[in-house]
Amino acid sequence: MPYTAKTIEYLKRTSPAQSEFYQATQEVLLSLRPLLDKEKKYQRYNIIERLVEPERQIMFKITWMDDEGMVQVNKGYRIEFNSALGPYKGGLRFHHSVNAGIIKFLGFEQIFKNALTGLQLGGGKGGSNFDPKGKSEGEIMRFCQAFMSELYRHIGPTTDVPAGDIGVGGREIGYMFGQYKKLTGRYEGILTGKGLNWGGSLARTEATGYGTVYFAQNMLEAAGNSLEGKTCVVSGAGNVAIYTIEKLYELGAIPISASDSRGTIYDKEGINLNTLKELKENKKVSLVHYLDEHPHAIYTPVELYDTKMNPVWAISCDVAFPCATQNELNENAAKELIKNGCICVSEGANMPSTADAVDLFIGTKNFLYGPGKAANAGGVATSQLEMSQNASMQSWDFETVDNKLKNIMKGIYISCSETAKEYNSTNNFVLGANIAGFKKVADAMIDQGSV
């Protein structure tokens, strides 16, 4: 489409070397074509050009002292992408691969995801190229404090509210919250994913994984199917993967895999959840130790991966849940999944499937594909429930939050599904999610004038 090509060309020229950002943008723009053809107001108000440019991009230096007394330097980012629907909201990622393009793709996806929740949330994302691997507890704390020593001046409970993402969980949120309080003297909801006895919400830890499973459940039920008895493969072994696996067991499915940055575990009897939590949440060690307690499982280290794909996608399954990172599921993997009988993919991670893989899923008759910006929106939605509890000084019980999460995920499914039908693309939830999310943001931008 000329409009898409023109925008991508413009982005490549003005924001060079941001391949993940172009990828995310291209997918959205291609989906929007039928809407833009029909409703000329979006072009009249130049919404696309306005939307692909972040409102504000903050880049800063983080200096901190390691255990040897060496001063270390990292890059810090907070990209405040779009505030048409509410305060900027989105996680912080600490991973060695982080750069401006990655934070920008995540921030861009976040705009539509947050819109789909139906809640008042703008889109943003942040992070650092800090590598938490092998760092001591003291180093993690000093880094988090140094990161917040700059970030604190840019965030606020009604302006920008970060949360966790890869490499940022409850521990890091705690250190950052403490530093914010120290610097400002204010005790307020400037981060979500907080500890339960200092402002956190029950079910926030579980929300992304649970929500991804609820989304799969909605897709399958609408097709007259269910998760019960289904064999599921899951990639990742962090927050999203763990609570995906937990909810799958609760709904009678059998999750048989997990993976981390060093390898993949396949346990045909079903992944032992207690072992997984002990290794990844408490001890924070490699998945290879799963074999210590479950020697019958099969472990494949990354060095032995087929160069064409992660072995997790070669395991025969009914439903797949990519829950690790972007572009972890390529065209070969998608072919393999479909060939081996997989009928549904629900994305816990952000943009885990490459564009070719997405095309294959969408082009396969009766295949159910839940894109990340819809399927993993339960995390940010529950973050908003945390903000809501903070603002009203209340705390709701687990069932209350979980029921709200379930309803929000159902609402997202309905909105994707009905929008897809409206554009004669039944079950194309990529088109459904992108158009439904876009309309909310774009209409708000038009109402609010050229600001």
Kindly indicate which of the ranges 6-14, 37-45, 165-173, 176-184 contains the residues binding ligand NDP, using the contact rule CB under 6 A. Answer: 165-173
Please, what is the minimum distance in Å from the beta carbon of residue 228 to ligand NDP?
25
Query: Rule CB under 6 A: is residue 91 a binding residue for ligand 2IT?
Result: yes
Whether 204 and 383 have beta carbons less than 8 Å apart is answered as: yes
Binding-site residue total for ligand NDP (CB under 6 A)? 25
Kindly indicate which of the ranges 50-58, 85-93, 229-237, 434-442 contains the residues binding ligand 2IT, using the contact rule CB under 6 A. Answer: 85-93
Give CA–CA dist 11/175, Å, rounded.
36
Query: DSSP letter string over 403-417?
Result: HHHHHHHHHHHHHHH
Query: Rule CB under 6 A: is residue 324 a binding residue for ligand NDP?
Result: yes
Query: Rule CB under 6 A: is residue 163 a binding residue for ligand 2IT?
Result: yes
Whether 231 and 318 have beta carbons less than 8 Å apart is answered as: yes
Q: Which of 166, 342, 433, 442 binds ligand NDP (CB under 6 A)?
A: 166
Q: Could you say which of ligand NDP, ligand 2IT, none residue 189 binds, taking C-beta under 5 to 8 angstroms by partner kind?
A: none
Give CA–CA dist 394/108, Å, rounded.
32
Please, what is the minimum distance in Å from the beta carbon of residue 1 to ligand NDP?
28
The residues, any chain, with a CB within 8 Å of residue 267's CB and separated by 6 or more, are 256, 257, 290, 294, 296, 297, 298
Query: Rule CB under 6 A: is residue 445 a binding residue for ligand 2IT?
Result: no
Q: Could you say which of ligand NDP, ligand 2IT, none residue 192 binds, taking C-beta under 5 to 8 angstroms by partner kind?
A: ligand 2IT
Query: Three-state SS across 314-348?
Result: HCCCCEEECCCCCCCECHHHHHHHHHCCCCEEECC
**Three-class secondary structure of residue 130 per DSSP:** coil
Interactions with ligand 2IT, residue window 381-420 (CB under 6 A): 383
Query: Rule CB under 6 A: is residue 260 a binding residue for ligand NDP?
Result: yes
Query: Rule CB under 6 A: is residue 350 a binding residue for ligand NDP?
Result: yes
Query: DSSP letter string over 155-196?
Result: -BTTTEEEE-BTTB-HHHHHHHHHHHHHHH-----SSSS--G
Query: Rule CB under 6 A: is residue 90 a binding residue for ligand 2IT?
Result: yes
Determine how β-strand 263-266 pairs with β-strand 298-301: antiparallel
Q: Which of 348, 371, 432, 437 binds ligand NDP (CB under 6 A)?
A: 348
Q: Which is nearer to ligand 2IT, 149 or 383 (CB)?
A: 383
Residue 258, phi then psi, degrees to nearest 5: -155, 160
Q: Which of 4, 7, 350, 389 binds ligand 2IT (CB under 6 A)?
A: 350
Whether 94 and 167 have beta carbons less than 8 Å apart is answered as: yes
Copy the structure tokens of residue 62: 């983080």
The residues, any chain, with a CB within 8 Å of residue 432's CB and separated by 6 or more, are 374, 415, 416, 417, 418, 419, 420, 423, 425
Q: Which is nearer to ligand NDP, 118 or 443 (CB)?
A: 118
User: Which residues of the chain form contacts with ligand NDP (CB under 6 A)?
Assistant: 91, 164-167, 169, 208, 236-241, 260-262, 280, 323-325, 348-350, 376, 379
User: Which residues of the chain form contacts with ligand 2IT (CB under 6 A)?
Assistant: 89-91, 113, 163, 165, 192, 350, 379-380, 383
